[in-house]
Structure 1
């Protein structure tokens, strides 16, 4: 980590955070053997005025993982650039364009990753829902409030497509349930196409799943959730399970069922930034990061599948 010069007060807070991270007992990733992936909705990241200390702490948290799906990245990328500077030269990012309306909330989706452990494979793009031909045009009958974002990566012998999403909010739970269902169908369609880049898919994001029906819709196409991420609370208020990491891997041994929620801060920490308890979430977030461990040495399983196929 490249935090640079810190004042004494900031250094003390950073050490406090490091102690809290240590207490989580996160497993270590191993080159060409395993990686830690995470998803974090960082509230209005790039919009509000975060303190320098907040950016140091965000970088420290992201730096515990090898690939992080960042939700709610906004149009201004200045804070992200600062965080990448603190993470150091081995870190990089791919991100989507802005959805420029109130439904899209001027948000982006991003993957921040450590190039020593994970390599970007070239594919990146926002999701396009199915279209139908109407006269001379191809028109989408329905859309996502914020288009999902896909990027292809490889680590060790494991190639995968990461898909990030921030699904709709709003008063209508019926409309939200419908978008969750359509998202699951869209990912399933992409996975089943004959010419997909890779059939190993990891889905990240904030799905605003508030009811059992919404959770069921998200999993309706057979996506799996690491056991450690079942029935958890992912918001700062510790009331909702909005954030998920899902998978539908070709190589079944890739997912270890190790994972968890990083409850590293609370409203009691508002004094770190000189703000009210209610404004703590605008310095760090109103969501906690969630993580999962992925095994990336798939050579043996590939050979076993080849042998069984014959």
Structure 2
């Protein structure tokens, strides 16, 4: 459970009660609904998530995120073992504050700021629970070896993908998290398609170089471990060519994620994805996955009047829009993997 001792120091009794109700509502919501989140296990499973947290900085267009929002963010993240986070901005306070709330057994890895107008001064990060997940030492930002296929004047992606290696149970896995260029609000923006195509083909070509397992076996021939790509791809529909660019390169979306709702607030766009490259070893999808709608439980539309005083600095902004700067305009996407391969190992020993 996150550290909630600070709640008792909130002077506004109504706000204090609302935060407690919100935390309890999130817990109940995560455990129920069409895609209930299973409880974290000690050794058998890994709960992996991806979440684009809108303008995750010390301040935002809607004002500073206050303690209420951080308690809600921490409550959701605490239900997972590892989370890839996109849209972290210059200030590291948000990640540091989340780590403080989540507990000393949580840690994070974060990139430097991506410079340039299209980079939007963003970072990418991994938050992980060290009671389950070990960082293997591999961490790098990916640079393309060739110019973008659709625009030779754009040599690299708008935001550098972040690659890091981890181990949990019997599974070694390398994660590459991305925030793909959005561009025009159409299903197929040329630069967006170019980024996804270049990213998928580059990672597929150099897959053995991203091996976490090699860290633990330096004298053996490098072999690819589990390689997963996750983050905000800004894919509108699973049938679009932007999605086909991923699958054509050999990436597969776990079957239980192929039927979940969209990850935007209206659940009609499939911006966020989690996919693995070709085959998995030492880990396999359990069949449990989903997208969690935080706004069914906190910052609900029927609560809009409760936040009138906090929204006074931004007159004219709708409550539906304002609340996305407190939580996000994306919903967290998650999938569960089985990571206990002991039976297969014992069978192998028996010949």
Work out whether the TM-score is over 0.5: yes
| Cα root mean square deviation, aligned | 2.5
Map of 2:23 onto structure 1: 14
Give the drift of 1:210. Answer: 2.1
Give the drift of 1:142. Answer: 2.5
Structure 2 Cα separation of the partners of residues 265 and 258 of structure 1: 21
Describe the superposition over 1:245-265 as per-residue Cα deviations: whole angstroms up to 9, x where unpaired. 111244175222321111121
Equivalent of 2:174, from 142, 161, 184?
A: 161
Q: Where do 5+ consecutive residues of structure 1 fail to align?
A: 133-139
Map of 2:257 onto structure 1: 229
Asked if structure 2 preserves the Cα contact closer than 8 Å seen for 1:94 and 1:112, the reply is yes
Give the drift of 1:85. Answer: 1.0
Describe the superposition over 1:71-130 as per-residue Cα deviations: whole angstroms up to 9, x where unpaired. 111111112211111111111101111102221111111110100010111111110111
Q: For this pair of structures, how many residues does the alignment match?
A: 302
Q: Where do 5+ consecutive residues of structure 2 fail to align?
A: 8-15, 148-152, 215-223, 312-318
Map of 2:157 onto structure 1: 144
Distance change >3 Å, CA 42–CA 270, structure 1 → 2:
farther
SS in 2 for 1:177: helix
Equivalent of 1:289, from 322, 328, 332?
A: 332
Structure 2 Cα separation of the partners of residues 292 and 4 of structure 1: 30
Matches for 1:198-217 after TM superposition, within 5 Å? 198-211=224-237, 212-217=240-245
Distance change >3 Å, CA 56–CA 165, structure 1 → 2:
same
Distance change >3 Å, CA 11–CA 29, structure 1 → 2:
closer
Asked if structure 2 preserves the Cα contact closer than 8 Å seen for 1:226 and 1:258, the reply is no
Structure 1 Cα separation of the partners of residues 84 and 265 of structure 2: 18
Give the drift of 1:160. Answer: 0.8
Matches for 1:70-109 after TM superposition, within 5 Å? 70-109=85-124
Distance change >3 Å, CA 157–CA 194, structure 1 → 2:
closer
Runs of 4+ in 1 over 6 A off after TM superposition: 303-308
Give the drift of 1:192. Answer: 4.4
Q: TM-score, normalised by structure 2?
A: 0.79
Q: Which structure: greater strand fraction?
A: 1
